[in-house]
Amino acid sequence: MTQQELHNWRLQHDAQNKYLQHHTRRHFLSQSAMGLGALALGSLLGCGTNKTTNSVTENFFDPINPLAPRPPMFPGKAKSVIYIHMAGAPSQLELFSYKPELAKLDGQDCPPSLLKGKKFAFIRGVPKMLGPQAAFRQHGQSGLWLSDNLPHLSTVVDDMAMLQAVTTDQFNHAPAQLLMHSGSARQGRPSLGSWVTYGLGTENKNLPGFVVLTSGGNNPDAGKSVWGSGFLPSVYQGVQCRGEGDPVLFIKDPDGMNRDIRKASIDAINKINQQQYEEYKDPEILSRIAQYEMAYKMQISVPEVMNINDEPAYIHEMYGTKPGEARFANNVLLARKLVEKGVRFVQLFDWGWDAHGDSPENAVDVGLINKCRTVDKPITALILDLKQRGLLDETLVIWGSEFGRTPMMENREGKTMPFKGRDHHGAAFSMWMAGGGIKGGTTYGETDEIGYDITNGKTEAFDIQATILHQLGFDHEKFTYQSQGRPFRLTDVGGKVIHDIVS
């Protein structure tokens, strides 16, 4: 017996022992004469696992190969998605929403008509209006107004479709982020990336289908459920990779363990899991087996793709990347690399946009400008780089946040803030999309002359989700997952595709 076989045998033997110790009521039920009837009754009463019959709207889930590529409902323009989320909510009034009228009202008391019946996260009493803290200019053939805070992005406005009247009913970060990404302000629903990888699988079997990269020093407020898989099989949840050090913790084999022994232990574990599966037929066990195998492959493939050192100098210059540092620019470059390698959905979060005015970092005329400088160049580089690589037309890029900010200056607890800041504002904010069959140089939706409320082209999270799914080839009303006895949609009972920005 070789060392490897011995190791294998021991592992299996230990597991068998443990397993026999757990011989319990379950086994009595399943193996006794009553077992079958009792189990059948159990399923009849709804305690069973998901059904596995195949029919039109039945959940499709191949536990052995859950990420195998699958066709969309209709041919989709986009094949992959890069979703850039600025966690904390950047001020649309200093970036995309040009409101010269608001400048005239700067410093005046907010008229009572704007406050009547409204609730704000921090504003109390009567706040002062705050004019735009940035200069705006028109750019490109489309003549889109963009602030000087984004000098690089202004060169690619003709590739972007602006959504100027996005709205949400949530005014706190976590629920608003959940709504934007999972279609529900409460936890428990699958995120957009999970839906997409569930629907389309992934092109590269050696990499996860849904990768999450965060920057800015913190995870988004909604935590990891914002890339969770909800009731979808857990294999579809986002895989968070780190920007510095090992991309995934403990991805290297520990000292003294060589790759063959690693393989042997994974094979042994999978063998036991297979036995377990044959007994219980729980598809999650097959999922687990597939996950172990994928993890083994990813030990090689992930560090390879997550390494930006090999990129040429002109690419680093273009993105403003610094290998080895945890920074947004690195994540953007990684997003491009991942998409190039066939990853279906890359989700970026950058934290630190919550400009309340309580510190210089959180001031719309200080910290916000610095934040813009960290993202402006890499995002612009991403669009141009995808374009020259022939990837932009099948990669949908989305830039957005959970909500926007008030045209009023924040007055937390009725007091004047030390710096200029704005409160959370869900009624009207801006997002944009590019690539993936989106019509560049278009604008959809308008807000009133101070950017307080929308006047037409109302766009809810559901509409954005419907549009993203549409670009990938899915009818958001028919793309469902059967759970708890009813079909669920990402867009719940809402959502309409924004055909005006689709080419």
Partner 1 sequence: MVVLSIGDFIGKFHPVLVHLPIGILLVAVLFYFLSGKEKYKSITPAISIALFIGMCSAIASSISGFLLSKTAAYEEPLLSRHQWFGIATTVLAVAAWVLYSKHFRQFKWLMILLSLLVIITGHFGGSLTHGADYIFSSGYKSVEAPAPQKLIPDVQQAVAYTDIIKPMLQAKCYSCHGTAKQKGKLRLDEPDYILQGGKNGKIFIAGNTGESELLQRIVLPHDNKEHMPPKEKPQLTKDEIALLHWWINSGASFTEKVSALQQPANIKPVLLALQSGKKNEELAVSFIPEAAVDNADEATIKKLRERGVAITSVAQNSNYLAASFIAVDSITIQDIELLMPLSKQLIWLKLGNSNCTDATISFIDKLTGLTRLSLENTAITDNAFRQLKNLTRLQYLNVAGNNITATGIEQLKEVKLLRNLYIYKTDISASDFANLKKIFPRTMIDTGGYVVPILNSDTTLVTKPK
Query: Where does this chain bind partner 1 (CB under 8 A)?
Result: 36, 40, 43-45, 53-58, 68-77, 151-152, 155, 201-206, 317-320, 340-342, 360, 363, 365-366, 369-370, 373, 376-377, 380-381, 384-385, 387-390, 393, 419-420, 473, 482, 485, 487
Least distance in Å: CB of 268 to partner 1? 25
Least distance in Å: CB of 210 to partner 1? 16
- Token pair of 353 as six digits: 């946009």
Q: Determine phi and psi for 442, rounding to 5 degrees.
A: -105, 160
Contact predicate 62/464, CB 8 Å? no
Q: d(Cα 294, Cα 291) in Å, to the nearest integer?
A: 5
Helices (H), 149-242: 173-182, 192-200
Q: Closer CB to partner 1, residue 208 or residue 220?
A: 208
- Count CA atoms within 13 Å of residue 308 on its CB side: 29
- Residue 211's H or E segment, with its range, is strand 210-215
Nearest to 425 by CA among 184, 192, 171, 173: 171
Q: Closer CB to partner 1, residue 426 or residue 473?
A: 473
Least distance in Å: CB of 134 to partner 1? 10
- Residue type at 99 in one-letter notation: K
Least distance in Å: CB of 180 to partner 1? 28
Q: Closer CB to partner 1, residue 109 or residue 317?
A: 317
DSSP reduced 3-state for 269? helix
Least distance in Å: CB of 103 to partner 1? 15
DSSP assignment string, 396-442:
EEEEE-S-EEEEEEP-BTTSPPSS--EEEE-SSEEEEEESTTB-TTE
Q: Closer CB to partner 1, residue 220 or residue 473?
A: 473
Q: d(Cα 495, Cα 492) in Å, to the nearest integer?
A: 8
Q: d(Cα 97, Cα 422) in Å, to the nearest integer?
A: 14
Q: d(Cα 81, Cα 339) in Å, to the nearest integer?
A: 8
Q: Closer CB to partner 1, residue 245 or residue 360?
A: 360
Least distance in Å: CB of 206 to partner 1? 6
Least distance in Å: CB of 51 to partner 1? 8
Q: Closer CB to partner 1, residue 58 or residue 500?
A: 58
Least distance in Å: CB of 55 to partner 1? 4
Contact predicate 428/165, CB 8 Å? yes
Q: Closer CB to partner 1, residue 373 or residue 412?
A: 373
Contact predicate 121/236, CB 8 Å? no
Q: Closer CB to partner 1, residue 382 or residue 461?
A: 382
Q: d(Cα 113, Cα 451) in Å, to the nearest integer?
A: 15
